A and B are shown apart, each in its own frame.
Chain A
């Protein structure tokens, strides 16, 4: 019979053993979870139906692409194993890699790719342009995709490597059969993560789990290309509308990564010493001033030209970002740091040469017609653009009626073709991700196809011809020459004005490594120690 003392000792020992074993067991089973504060809440899960960047980022989590851009902007095969062209350049054949699977376990087939390309191309301007070269697109067998072209073009891979909205993500054929005018209702991809629909709380939380059957490429990770290796078991996105609170949560260890931190609050991250900053994009975003060419005064290209001389990028960037570490002036339309960067034909522009601007305005016969300038007030990254534009326009004698409104109102109003006095508009400023601007076909504001162009509706045959030539160009050198010609034509017929590049860094806790500079925020390759 055990004494009371011995019973207590035995009980204590058993308790200690049990606790030790359970902590060992829980340690062995512990998942690594990356807790992310994205720049916005995820509402729309269909990255083909919407151009919203948060939906694009969601797309990169669960879908994969046939091609992708590496950090130097070069096109690399991703889901594709090989590409071959017929000698006349009219047949492009692609083979899918072996072993690719959907999240539901089914094999990825060429039929899936064909359906996905069709859906994407029916919505995306670059995809639409690509399809004008395509007589037929079909699956020759379960792994082979065949494009039969009416004219040789280098656009196929370029379009299918498009890094930003709308990205040509691959989906199962049954899902891709959804008309692009409707949203998909199933979210099955073949990407490195799967979405956990049971834990999804719209606008509140999105949970992604590592897809164990993902087959990464053998090449090293390089931008959006190469091996996509999920190094954490779960990624949880929880938006936070208050950046101060997000930073507090980061410093307290409640979150691991904040996707976008405005420069003015960065000292809060740096001073706490718990986190560091990193970039996901070498080129960041570009501010843009958009004209409405349907109504005076911007129906006159010379008036628009006057602004090319009146504006300077530094004023806009300083007013919005403040810290020069987070912005750069760049006269290249197609973004500094990307393959089609060039300053050709930009001499003297964007330097606030008011004398020259006034001269052009006088030549244009500007009669004081007010410029209705829409000013969005609730997106901090855009708020200060319109006031700077107003000041610079007034400096050369223009009459500016700046009207403040929230972004929703601006979005509604910019789609109207009515005269400004009847609820329309003359100009507004916005920002684009560099990935949306990397060539003349991706750059939506350059599209000058009149009524079918984006709001602003520029109408210029020469630009459209040059964009078509770009699509037909067979080599990078040819494309580069066309880009320079486009910039020359743009000086004569401005469709918009690029106001410089900026970026807002991500903040990561010190134990989180591997954030990629892929051009868009992606969460493979990230590990948490």
Chain B
């Protein structure tokens, strides 16, 4: 297992290299000049050229790339052109909100979607099944920001139960931290609940027809134990796959939610960096997201071994 993990971790290197090349070239081929943005309205061409030289943007692309890569290898993600702070520092400051939002969203998703999917499968064809599937379709269709504004209207502006916007760090208190995350997490979880509930239903339905389930019932197991210990356990592999996939998408897809709820996470940092052509920040965040995605895939693969003893690496 350890060897497998090491092998997978080593395999992230070429993946990150490819992503690095892609994002590096994409930024430099996109119109827009960070030196001009930094220099400001009154800058002359000479001043912009001086800034370009200062930032190393006047060097050949291949030189810029190798300088960047060698800095990354030394753990230096570079300095933000605009904030004049190390990108590492910026990311560390912004990672907690994004991680918090993602984790709480996944927890909500799992807590809602899996029971929904199981019940829907168990009550296949019933009105419960139809409601769940109907919700699934609606959940896919409504944009996150629409759900977000709807939740804000009801629960913040009318009932006053939750704040309209913002984020409270965990160190300031768990209660306020979770209070600020509930609405954005709910808004973001709708589409994932729709997707995972549907996936759970399909997987559990497949398993419910298996011989061992009939055997478990014949042996006098309660329906709950049949569903949880036998059906769900065996249906878990594809469900876990989808959850992992959703989590990875979530990390990169919180931009809209962070914008709506004004949560100062990596999503907003990326948007600002893109609009300002802050190359070091964009490059670092994209690499980070890629690494997280690869890591999540690895974790999911390891989880399989716990769910299905037949799977061994």
Contacts and interface: CB of A to CB of B under 8 A. Distances in A.
Contacts of A414: 36
Interface string B156-175: 11001001111000000000
A38 to B, nearest CB: 13
A412 B33 contact: yes
A252 B94 CA distance: 26
Contacts of A245: 152, 164-165, 260-262
B32 A406 contact: yes
A354 B269 CA distance: 48
Contacts of A305: none
A246 B45 CA distance: 38
Interface string B26-56: 0000011100111111111101101000000
Nearest to A407: B275
Interface stretch (A70-78, A235-243, A340-348, A472-480): A235-243
B36 A411 contact: yes
A125 B42 contact: yes
Contacts of A408: 32-33, 37, 275-277
B83 A203 contact: yes
A249 B44 CA distance: 41
A413 interface: yes
A415 B36 contact: yes
A23 to B, nearest CB: 19
A409 B259 contact: no
A416 to B, nearest CB: 8
B207 to A, nearest CB: 44
Contact of B259 (A51, A241, A413, A444): A241
A417 interface: yes
Contact of A254 (B32, B94, B164): B164
A18 interface: no
B37 A242 contact: no
B227 interface: no
Nearest to B167: A204
Interface string B4-42: 000000000000000000000000000111001111111
B40 A50 contact: yes
Contacts of A125: 42
A241 B262 contact: yes
B214 interface: no
B254 to A, nearest CB: 14
A246 B260 CA distance: 10
Interface in B231-270: 259-262, 264, 268-269
Interface residues of A, number: 47
A44 interface: yes
Contacts, number: 113
Given A203-B272, A412-B32, A43 B165 contact: no
B156 A248 contact: yes
Given A406-B275, A444-B42, A248 B83 contact: no
B165 A203 contact: no
B61 interface: no
A238 B164 CA distance: 14
Interface string A107-125: 0000000000000000111
B84 interface: yes
A185 B85 CA distance: 11
Given A125-B42, A238-B262, A248-B157, A203 B36 contact: no
A415 B43 contact: yes
A43 B39 CA distance: 13
A259 to B, nearest CB: 15
Contacts of A202: 80, 83, 85, 90, 93
Contacts of A353: none
A186 interface: no
B76 to A, nearest CB: 18
A43 B82 contact: yes
Interface in A367-395: 378
A51 B31 CA distance: 22
Interface in A118-165: 123-125, 165
A181 interface: yes
A240 B262 contact: yes
Contacts of A248: 152, 156-157, 164-165
Interface string B58-100: 0000000000000000000000101111000010011000000
Interface string A397-428: 00000000111110111110100000000000
B37 A411 contact: yes
A50 B94 CA distance: 25
B149 interface: yes
Interface residues of B, number: 45
A405 B149 CA distance: 29
Most buried by B among A43, A185, A409: A43
B32 A51 contact: no
Nearest to B47: A181
A51 B166 contact: no
Given A203-B272, A204-B264, A415-B43, A252 B157 contact: yes
B275 A378 contact: yes
A291 B85 CA distance: 37
A201 interface: yes
Contact of A411 (B33, B82, B93, B156): B33
B282 to A, nearest CB: 12
B40 A249 contact: no
Contacts of A244: 149
A202 B152 CA distance: 27
B156 A242 contact: no
Contacts of A43: 82-83, 272, 276
A352 interface: no
Nearest to A417: B45
B32 A409 contact: yes
Contacts of B43: 415
B31 A409 contact: yes
Interface in A30-54: 41, 43-44, 49-52
A201 B93 contact: yes
A159 to B, nearest CB: 15
A297 B268 CA distance: 42
Contacts of A50: 38, 40
A453 B29 CA distance: 29
A340 B166 CA distance: 44
A183 interface: yes
A454 interface: yes
Contacts of B94: 204
Interface string A505-519: 000000000000000
Interface in A46-65: 49-52
A374 to B, nearest CB: 11
A249 B165 contact: yes
Interface of A: 41, 43-44, 49-52, 123-125, 165-166, 181, 183, 185, 201-205, 238, 240-242, 244-246, 248-249, 251-252, 254, 378, 405-409, 411-415, 417, 444, 452, 454
10 contacts: A124-B42, A181-B47, A202-B85, A244-B149, A249-B262, A251-B157, A254-B164, A452-B44, A454-B41, A454-B42
Interface of B: 31-33, 36-45, 47-48, 50, 80, 82-85, 90, 93-94, 149, 152, 156-157, 160, 163-166, 259-262, 264, 268-269, 271-272, 275-277
- 10 residue pairs, one from A and one from B, having the closest CB atoms: A412-B33, A204-B264, A408-B32, A202-B83, A409-B31, A43-B82, A412-B36, A51-B40, A248-B164, A409-B32
